[in-house]
Amino acid sequence: IEAMNLVGVDIHAVGNHEFDYGAKHLKRLRTGGCPEGKDGKPDCGGREPYAGSKFPFLAANVMENATGQTLFPAYVIKDFDGVKVAFIGLTLQGTPAIVRPGGTTGLVFNAEDVTVNKLIQEIKSKGVEAIVVVMHEGGLQASGAGINDCKDFNGKGKEVVEKFDAAVDVVLSAHTHRYYICDIGGKLMTSAGNYGTLVTEIDLRIDRATGKVVSKKAQNRVVDPKG
């Protein structure tokens, strides 16, 4: 997270492994502070206190039983030279089945598509027409397909995106650790694979008068380790 602060990350949609050590630990990663020592008191282990992330965590479909609220904000709205774009953050509904036992205690993971579709009108009421979903769920394409292909694409992520409201323009996906650039029912769905070997460059053209996306394209680019 400290490295991502330096890079200038804007938002983070939490994934399944963020829940390996439970919600309390995850909240600390966001807000800062030291982990508890054996005596129950904060223990930084001799280093400077951890300051937390400079960017928001998003979790639109993760609810806390104790509060009835989302664990983290559902979305953020960013202004790009006077044009507003909403970013909704999701993790996969199946998280409780694939993380450490107890890591999701007290939390409910709702269906990704239902969650997004319920937010559309709320977002539009704030004068936003351009909508991006950042989702920790993804798909797979055929073996041997290229980094910018969408060959025989399938998987849970595709099924979810097919159910999204038509107002969703772009879906940044993950989880399967595969690369692809797809058009799913008019929605641009991308993934940059894993291990930082690729970065996805996405270009949106937005009509200033309406705030709507009028064209979109994406390309996965290979990262040059030499800079």
Alpha-carbon span 191 to 59, nearest angstrom:
19
Give 94 or 36, the one with higher predicted confidence.
94
Alpha-carbon span 177 to 25, nearest angstrom:
25
What is the pLDDT at residue 227? 67
What is the pLDDT at residue 40? 82
Query: Tell me, what amino acid is at 213?
Result: V
3-class DSSP state for residue 65?
coil
Torsion 175-178-179-185 (CA) sign: negative
What is the pLDDT at residue 225? 83
Query: How many CB atoms within 10 Å of residue 37?
Result: 11
Shortest CA distance to 23 belongs to which of 91, 98, 89, 102?
102
Q: What is the dihedral of CA 35, 38, 44, 49, to 10 degrees?
A: 50
pLDDT digits (tens, 9 = 90+) for 110-139: 999 999 999 999 999 999 999 999 999 999
pLDDT digits (tens, 9 = 90+) for 58-84: 999 999 999 999 999 999 999 999 999
The answer to whether the beta carbons of residues 106 and 113 sit under 8 Å apart is no
DSSP classification of residue 154: B
Unique residue bearing structure tokens 């409201």: 165
What is the pLDDT at residue 44? 85
pLDDT digits (tens, 9 = 90+) for 140-191: 999 999 999 999 999 999 999 999 999 999 999 999 999 999 999 999 999 9
